């Protein structure tokens, strides 16, 4: 198989996993639109790979009220857009044993970036994807911490777990709705990106060296996207997925079918 989508919007493409996957896509002949907060990074990418292959749009996913207009602008300019890759994410440490150190503004920023914005983006772009006659896709980056939390980053794990649960339900719902929308989830382990940089987590030294090399991670993800996999757990995330997540998702399927029967008695 080969990657089936012709034009991909990557939200959160200015660094890390988003940027590396953007490179992989464009180098394999896929038209892309890159979006993120840092205009200089977007401009540099377009200059490197050419405006014939790459379009860009400066956008901050924290601006929730602007997401409908952002989606309208993108789909009007690119009516052939058939894949949305929602990748934006931040990670911050919180120690609730010392509650006076908790910055709830930072907490809410992380929650909005990692979860709430993804839901808003999904809602805004789904009508376009459902309207196309061909197969389309929503791709999300979650985390191995969507499956098992880490004490150091309780809000990161919680936000990614929320997104993971949303994705499971979304996949079931859109399969029964209009169009042909696939819902894909990528579960990274720790990967060597600026997510762990001292700028963002000042108590870490050389945090960008934590985890799997970015090139190795993206190489595996790309191979599995081409193979048509809908759930891509890599490295230690794969170990967790195989240990219990397959069984848990089986229970989800069983519960969904049971609830369908129960709800038939109560739905108007």
Q: What is the pLDDT of residue 99?
A: 98
Q: Are 6 and 34 in contact (CB under 8 A)?
A: no
263: in domain: no
Domains contained in the chain, number: 1
Check residue 201 and give its pLDDT. Answer: 60
8 A C-beta contact, residue 232 and residue 186? yes
Q: Among positive and negative, which fits the CA dihedral 36, 37, 43, 48? A: negative
- Report if residue 261 sits inside a domain: no
- pLDDT over 70 at 198, yes or no: no
DSSP run (H or E) holding 197: none
Average pLDDT of the segment spanning 223-231: 97
Binned at pLDDT 50, 70 and 90, residue 202 comes out as low
Using CA atoms, how far residue 194 sits from 12, 46, 105, 169, in Å, is 13, 21, 21, 31
Residue 202 lies in a domain: yes
pLDDT value at 175 more than 60: yes
- Quick one: pLDDT at residue 266? 84
Could you read off the pLDDT of 15-54 as tens digits, one per residue?
Answer: 999 999 999 999 999 999 999 999 999 999 999 999 999 9
Whole-number Å distance between alpha carbons of 154 and 91: 10
In the block, which residue shows the tokens 């030294």? 205
Query: Does a structural domain hold residue 256?
Result: no
Rounded average pLDDT over 207-236: 91
Provide the domain limits for residue 127: 7-237
197 pLDDT tier (thresholds 50, 70, 90): low
pLDDT for res 115: 98
255 in any annotated domain: no
pLDDT for position 263: 87
In a domain, 139, yes or no: yes
**Is 79 contained in some domain?**
yes
Q: What is the CATH number of the domain that holds 67?
A: 3.40.50.720
* Mean confidence (pLDDT) of the chain: 94
pLDDT digits (tens, 9 = 90+) for 126-164: 999 999 999 999 999 999 999 999 999 999 999 999 999
78 is a domain residue: yes
């Amino acid at each position: 198989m080969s990657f089936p989508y012709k034009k991909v919007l990557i939200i959160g493409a200015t660094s890390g996993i988003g940027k590396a996957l953007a490179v992989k896509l464009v180098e394999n002949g896929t038209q892309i639109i890159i979006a993120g907060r840092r205009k200089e990074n977007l401009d540099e990418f377009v200059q490197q790979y050419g405006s014939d292959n790459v379009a860009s749009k400066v956008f901050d996913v924290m601006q929730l009220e602007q997401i409908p207009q952002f989606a309208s602008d993108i789909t009007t300019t690119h009516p052939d857009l058939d894949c949305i890759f929602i990748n934006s994410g931040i990670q911050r440490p919180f120690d609730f044993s010392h509650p006076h150190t908790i910055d709830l503004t930072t907490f809410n920023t992380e929650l909005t970036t990692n979860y709430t914005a993804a839901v808003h983006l999904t809602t805004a772009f789904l009508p376009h994807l459902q309207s196309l006659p061909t197969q389309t896709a929503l791709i999300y980056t979650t985390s191995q911490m969507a499956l098992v939390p880490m004490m150091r980053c309780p809000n990161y794990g919680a936000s990614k777990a929320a997104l993971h649960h949303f994705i499971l339900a979304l996949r079931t719902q859109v399969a029964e709705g209009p169009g042909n929308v696939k819902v894909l989830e990528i579960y990274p382990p720790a990967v060597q990106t600026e997510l762990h940089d001292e700028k963002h987590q000042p108590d870490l030294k050389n945090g960008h060296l934590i985890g799997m090399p970015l090139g190795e991670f993206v190489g595996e993800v790309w191979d599995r996207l081409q193979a048509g996999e809908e759930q891509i757990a890599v490295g230690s995330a794969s170990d967790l997925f195989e240990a219990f997540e397959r069984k848990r998702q089986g229970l989800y399927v069983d519960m969904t079918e049971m609830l369908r029967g129960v709800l038939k008695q109560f739905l108007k």
